[in-house]
Amino acid sequence: MRGKMEVYLDNAATTRVSDQVQSVMNQVFDSDFGNPSSLHRKGMEAERYIRQAKEQIARSLKAEPKEIIFTSGGTESNNMAVIGAALAMRRTGKHLITTQFEHASVYNPMLFLKDMGFTVDFAPVDAMGHVQIQKLLELVQKDTILVSVMYVNNEVGAVQNIAEISAAVKKKNSGILFHTDAVQAYGKYKICPKKEGIDLLSASGHKLHGPKGSGFLYIRDKVHIIPLIYGGGQQKGMRSGTENVPAIAGFGAAAEETYSKHEAKIAQMYEQKQKFVEQLGKMPGVKVNAVTESLTDCAPNIVSASFEGVRAEVLLHALEEEGVYVSSGSACSSNHPGISGSLKAIGVESKLLDSTIRFSFTFDTTQKEIDYALDQLNKLLPVLRQYKRH
């Protein structure tokens, strides 16, 4: 690595914890380390961090602090929303709808519920990764109790019009709860659950320069779900167990920092993405996935590209040797190698399914870093394509 530039373009997997977030967390670790359930001063100091983080996150959503439940991350939040809502409403119906495009932490809980006797339907998406709303509506029944649609797809960056989908669903069946996995959207978009018809929303701290192991579930006031964790009754019984105060405080600080001068940060990412996509398009045998003519219809931070004639894993490690860090898909799915369901859902050619790389930026990414990554791609691709694939 000596003499080589280090370029981290895997921010959809995780981001660096910001200096400001580290400072807040260190304060909790070093001085304000009490148990927030304790009645003495140390406990009250710890509880104050939780209250402040709820207020910081609630402000970003134009929600109420009481509507925020802290979790260990996006996976737990999605499980809590999907399973908790289904169990709470099973006397009303046992039909659930999601999409072919979901993260495993929604998809697998749906399969778990299916094994428990629920019926699950998966709505299709088009080549741009947008949910086919009419086909989704055709799946809605009288006994449908929950619809879950990902806000931003974690692999290709496709963005759903959640407000439109939710309104259409509830017009057909007003009793349905609407959940969105906003793990890749929170911090990139100004989300207003009440305006967008969202009853349940999942988010994760480490996608926006907060710590790993931090997440929240927004539960709209008056919505009832069944808790998955029982114990001492913390967080009003919705998620028992001693709260992870350093992580919660860090998440709150990350939310406040991210939504400060937010529009400028997002505009910068879109500008960098535009240049990156344009340069990829000039490379022979490269196809950028799920991008519309106006890139603002896609997430500002994610680019999915397929490289004909090169295996994704080979290209990933070749880039790594040059100091460039990318992903061959979602970090979670990378633990279970296989062909991406998201890529199949949008109709990526079979010969390109295992030749696709995800690049993901943050507002700290520089143009110099992006140019370096492009230079390495231009250098490596002709060499890697000389080797026949078996």
Q: Residue 88: give its domain's CATH number.
A: 3.40.640.10
Band (387; pLDDT cuts 50, 70, 90): confident
- Answer for the pair 124, 135: CB distance below 8 angstroms, yes or no: yes
Residues 288 and 144 both lie in one domain: no
Is 212 inside a domain boundary? yes
Is 2 inside a domain boundary? no
Cβ count within 10 A of residue 325: 16
Note the pLDDT of residue 347. Answer: 86
Residues 229 and 212 both lie in one domain: yes
Is 192 one of the catalytic residues? no
Note the pLDDT of residue 388. Answer: 55
- Answer for the pair 102, 158: CB distance below 8 angstroms, yes or no: no
Which residue shows structure tokens 């490269």?
286
Residues 181 and 70 both lie in one domain: yes
Band (335; pLDDT cuts 50, 70, 90): very low
Residues 25 and 153 both lie in one domain: yes
Residues 44 and 186 both lie in one domain: yes
Is 177 inside a domain boundary? yes
Residues 303 and 231 both lie in one domain: no
Residues 225 and 321 both lie in one domain: no
Residues 12 and 63 both lie in one domain: no
Work out whether the CA dihedral 366, 4, 303, 192 comes out positive or negative: negative
Determine the 3-state secondary structure of 280 from DSSP: helix
Is 218 inside a domain boundary? yes
Distance of CA 64 to the CA centre of its chain: 22
Residues 47 and 142 both lie in one domain: yes
Q: What is the mean pLDDT of residues 4-26?
A: 96
Note the pLDDT of residue 291. Answer: 84
* Total tally of structural domains belonging to the chain: 2
At position 19, the amino acid (one-letter code) is D
Is 223 inside a domain boundary? yes
Q: Which of 258, 284, 299 is the last residue of a domain?
A: 258
Burial class (CB in 10 A: 0-12, 13-18, 19+), 194: middle
Domain ranges, residue 304? 7-17+261-384
Note the pLDDT of residue 366. Answer: 95
What CATH number is attached to the domain comprising 343?
3.90.1150.10
Higher pLDDT, 1 or 5: 5
Note the pLDDT of residue 329. Answer: 64
Note the pLDDT of residue 333. Answer: 46
The pTM score is 0.94
Is 337 inside a domain boundary? yes
Residue 331 has pLDDT above 60, yes or no: no
Note the pLDDT of residue 27. Answer: 97
Copy the structure tokens of residue 33: 């380390």
Residues 307 and 243 both lie in one domain: no
Is 1 inside a domain boundary? no
Is 390 inside a domain boundary? no
Band (336; pLDDT cuts 50, 70, 90): very low
Residues 275 and 175 both lie in one domain: no
- Answer for the pair 345, 153: CB distance below 8 angstroms, yes or no: no
Q: What is the mean pLDDT of residues 228-255?
A: 97
- Answer for the pair 157, 189: CB distance below 8 angstroms, yes or no: no
Q: Which of 258, 274, 290 is the last residue of a domain?
A: 258
User: In 3D, which of 21, 18, 37 has the Cα closest to residue 29?
Assistant: 21
Burial class (CB in 10 A: 0-12, 13-18, 19+), 226: middle
Q: What is the mean pLDDT of residues 333-339?
A: 46
Give dist(CA 251, CA 308) in Å, integer.
40
Catalytic residue, from 332, 339, 353, 384: name it: 332
Q: Which of 230, 258, 286 is the last residue of a domain?
A: 258
Residues 12 and 35 both lie in one domain: no
Q: Which helix (H) or strand (E) holds 57?
A: helix 41-61
